Amino acid sequence: MAEVKKEKVEKPKKMADPIAASIDPATQQMIARAQELGIDTVFDRAVTMKACNIGMQGTCCKNCSMGPCRLPLPKAGIEGEDTRKGLCGATANTIAARNFIRMIAGGASAHSDHGRCVAEVFLSAARKETKDYKIKDTDKLLAVAPHLGVATTVEKDGEVLERDLDEIALEVAEKAMNEWGKPEGELLYLKRAPEPLYERWKKLGVLPRNIDREIVEIMHRTHMGVDQDYKNLIKQGTRAAIADGWGGSMLATDLQDILFGTPSPVQSEANLGVMKEDHVNIIVHGHEPVLSEMIVAAAQSKEMHEYAVSKGARGIQLGGICCTANEILQRHGVPTVATFLQQELAIITGACDAMVVDIQCIMQNLANVAKCFHTKLITTHPIARMEQDNVIHIEFDEHHAMEDAVRIVKLAIDNFENRGAEVMIPQYKSVQVAGFGVESIEYHLGGTFRGSYYTLNDNIINGRIRGVAGVVGCNNARTRHNEGHIQVVKELIKNDVLVLTTGCNGIACAMEGLLTPETAQVFCGPGLAEVCETVGIPPVLHLGSCVDNSRILLAATEVVKAGGLGNDISDLPAAGSAPEWMSEKAISIGHYFVVSGVYTVFGVTFPTSGAPVFHDYLCKELEGIYGGMWDFEMDPIKHAHKMIAHIDKKRKALGIDKARDRVLMDMADRREMEAKYQEV
């Protein structure tokens, strides 16, 4: 009997549950909206596509074509000798270490190549080859110059005179450019680290020689058949990570500050609700502020405003996504539209007239989403183009920067009338105060009179501030959007830990309303609340984009210099965290924090978990070598408490744990007294 063919029943497509996907109501609303329109987003793809378990553990080697060799960790773990090996004999430790330092190479090169682009524009400005970029912050120029060995004074006839600023700028530009590829010596900024840290690096032989070389050497060492010792591999990862944090990233931050202005606290708003239905919405997304600075200037010009009005809009609403958002927020107060995971959703509002992208963290699916709307998606960087045919490429060049920016803004304005009827902007946004940095922390906590980190140190010593945490990093679609960020940060400030934030954590905190001074009274422990109220700062200080993590390194160095809290960063009651990390940049940042002496906890997953010996080396033994170590904790509350336990360990070592007991008792007593008083 002939078989009756069964009709294939199409299974309903799996989709994300908006509530399970994000804690943010604007995001939940837009995920549902996307599903209603039949547009898939990263949240849906995370449900339909499972992550590779072996890759996640860091034990898949695809560095030669005999593989990929996959070395999964048995569920029960490994007892006795670990005999797993690839075709060439590479052990799980070698494979995981190679993969890990390749991640560092990816992250360090992303930050550092960004820094190089800024340095090139800086050089053009110093040479006066472009009229659009000028040195904006001469104070910062003079502060940075000595660190690059550039004199700020000249001697003439026995008299010390101030040196010409143009001359200083040119030499700063040339010296900075040199840091990427100089043939000998070591990175000049390494001496900005506390002396014991520099000496430690020197003794361990990890002082980076130049930025590019350390990254190239990672690629060489991890090639088939080269370095086969996980300790030696991570040593090279350390060199490259230091070259990122104390090199490429720090140069990017400094040169950007000199060119575009050092940020100072500024009020703005955050979340998709900052978009305006009756305005031309232009969103800049990516990382380099070189282009976005010009777009801000163009969009704020009277000419462009009038042009927008002539096309029926009430004005131009500029907004940012990812670290470009952080850059233009901290210098101009431009509102933040979205974190990394919300980028597709910004287009799904139907109100995005142009999305202008440069480099890093840009999802290729933006082009597919843009196809469903009128949105012009514009790539601008020669190294970051998209294959889809609806993407417009307008290559940005510093020599005609303003011209390019005006062209882009006009394109967005002209596109305003092409909007469909399907506009839906979620009505959620929060107020934020951002734009903190090494200089402004000094000002706010030290005052112009004192002008040092003395007050901050004083409050740490007396226990009002229990410690300081750097909580940074991405969103990751494998975990609930913003939940880890917010729970970790809230738990820390509840326990009197002052939080410094950058990147998408900064954006998440802004959306949750944690970046306002008023927040302190609601979420902070009594000590931190008192400090925030007295000096008028939020308990979470937004220090900018991911390259600006270098600001955290320098702030920590200032704390060491101010005295009373040990001699090195590793002595400080401080910890680092990236609760929802996903990018290679996060690994590079994490590693330069660790080898600068900071205990650093990551959430979601950890890419060495399949190689227990190497994993323990990172998470236990590194502390004895560098003073800092890695840790991994998925649960946000436990994650925060691991950081707090470390902070308390450091307080004890410094002999200031008793001070904190007293302060807590004082505050509790005061509360009790107040309660009793009210009862009476």
To the nearest whole angstrom, how small is the minimum distance from the Cβ of residue 504 to ligand BF8? 3
Strand 153-156 to 159-162 pairing: antiparallel
User: Of 585, 591, 646, 650, which one interacts with ligand BF8 (CB under 6 A)?
Assistant: 585
User: Of 313, 329, 412, 546, which one interacts with ligand BF8 (CB under 6 A)?
Assistant: 546
Nearer to ligand BF8, 551 or 660 (CB): 551
Q: Is 114 in the site for ligand BF8 (CB under 6 A)?
A: no
E strand or H helix that includes residue 403: helix 401-415
Q: Is 242 in the site for ligand BF8 (CB under 6 A)?
A: no
E strand or H helix that includes residue 105: helix 92-126
Note the residue count of the chain: 680
**Subset of 552-581 contacting ligand BF8 (CB under 6 A):** none
**Subset of 267-306 contacting ligand BF8 (CB under 6 A):** 287
Q: Is 525 in the site for ligand BF8 (CB under 6 A)?
A: no
Nearer to ligand BF8, 332 or 374 (CB): 332
Contacting residues for 360 by C-beta, under 8 A, at least 6 apart: 110, 114, 286, 287, 322, 323, 384, 583, 585
To the nearest whole angstrom, how small is the minimum distance from the Cβ of residue 481 to ligand BF8? 12
Give how far Cα 419 sits from Cα of 34, 277, 317, 347, 665, Å.
17, 10, 15, 12, 61
Nearer to ligand BF8, 256 or 457 (CB): 256
Nearer to ligand BF8, 63 or 380 (CB): 380
Structure tokens at 319: 């907004």
To the nearest whole angstrom, how small is the minimum distance from the Cβ of residue 202 to ligand BF8? 30
**Subset of 304-323 contacting ligand BF8 (CB under 6 A):** 322-323
Nearer to ligand BF8, 200 or 480 (CB): 480
What's CA 282's distance to the chain center, in Å?
A: 23
Q: Is 473 in the site for ligand BF8 (CB under 6 A)?
A: yes
Torsion of CA 608, 610, 613, 614, to 10 degrees: -20
Structure tokens at 329: 């927020």
Q: Is 340 in the site for ligand BF8 (CB under 6 A)?
A: yes
**Subset of 354-383 contacting ligand BF8 (CB under 6 A):** 361
Nearer to ligand BF8, 31 or 170 (CB): 31
Nearer to ligand BF8, 464 or 585 (CB): 585
Q: Is 436 in the site for ligand BF8 (CB under 6 A)?
A: no
The residue whose two tokens read 């060049």 is 397
Count of Cβ atoms closer than 10 Å to residue 374 Cβ: 18
Nearest to 23 by CA among 15, 31, 13: 31
**Subset of 410-429 contacting ligand BF8 (CB under 6 A):** none
Residue 663 half-sphere exposure toward CB, CA atoms < 13 A = 23
**Subset of 29-88 contacting ligand BF8 (CB under 6 A):** none
Nearer to ligand BF8, 350 or 437 (CB): 437
Bridge partners, 386 (sequence order): none
Per CB under 6 A, the segment of 238-246, 400-408, 531-539, 582-590 that binds ligand BF8 is: 582-590
Nearest to 605 by CA among 97, 54, 78: 54
3-class DSSP string for 137-175 = CHHHHHHHHHHHCCCCEEEECCEEEECCHHHHHHHHHHH
Nearest-angstrom CA–CA distance, 227 and 290: 38
User: Of 438, 504, 556, 622, which one interacts with ligand BF8 (CB under 6 A)?
Assistant: 504
**Subset of 144-173 contacting ligand BF8 (CB under 6 A):** none
Cross-sheet strand order for the sheet of 497-501? 540-542, 497-501, 467-471, 574-578, 599-602, 630-632
User: Of 474, 500, 572, 647, which one interacts with ligand BF8 (CB under 6 A)?
Assistant: 474
To the nearest whole angstrom, how small is the minimum distance from the Cβ of residue 636 to ligand BF8? 17
To the nearest whole angstrom, how small is the minimum distance from the Cβ of residue 194 to ligand BF8? 26
Nearer to ligand BF8, 263 or 503 (CB): 503
Nearer to ligand BF8, 415 or 501 (CB): 501
Nearest-angstrom CA–CA distance, 169 and 126: 6
To the nearest whole angstrom, how small is the minimum distance from the Cβ of residue 621 to ligand BF8? 28
To the nearest whole angstrom, how small is the minimum distance from the Cβ of residue 585 to ligand BF8? 5
Nearer to ligand BF8, 436 or 453 (CB): 436
Count of Cβ atoms closer than 10 Å to residue 164 Cβ: 10
To the nearest whole angstrom, how small is the minimum distance from the Cβ of residue 546 to ligand BF8? 3
Q: Is 503 in the site for ligand BF8 (CB under 6 A)?
A: yes
To the nearest whole angstrom, how small is the minimum distance from the Cβ of residue 33 to ligand BF8? 22
To the nearest whole angstrom, how small is the minimum distance from the Cβ of residue 109 to ligand BF8? 13
Nearest-angstrom CA–CA distance, 452 and 497: 20
Q: Is 523 in the site for ligand BF8 (CB under 6 A)?
A: no
Nearer to ligand BF8, 29 or 343 (CB): 343
- Phi and psi based region of residue 322 (left: phi greater than 0; alpha: psi -120 to 50; beta: remaining): left
Rounded (5°) CA angle 318-581-221: 115
Cβ atoms of residues 514 and 541 within 8 Å: no
Nearer to ligand BF8, 256 or 459 (CB): 256
Nearest to 508 by CA among 538, 488, 529: 488
Nearer to ligand BF8, 323 or 456 (CB): 323
Per CB under 6 A, the segment of 60-68, 78-86, 583-591, 669-677 that binds ligand BF8 is: 583-591
Nearest-angstrom CA–CA distance, 69 and 90: 9
Nearer to ligand BF8, 381 or 585 (CB): 585
Q: Is 583 in the site for ligand BF8 (CB under 6 A)?
A: yes
**Subset of 611-670 contacting ligand BF8 (CB under 6 A):** none
- Total of residues contacting ligand BF8 (CB under 6 A): 14
Indicate the burial class of 157 (C-beta count within 10 angstroms; 0-12, 13-18, 19 or more): exposed
What's CA 429's distance to the chain center, in Å?
A: 21
By CB under 6 A, name the binding residues for ligand BF8. 287, 322-323, 340, 361, 473-474, 503-504, 545-546, 583, 585-586
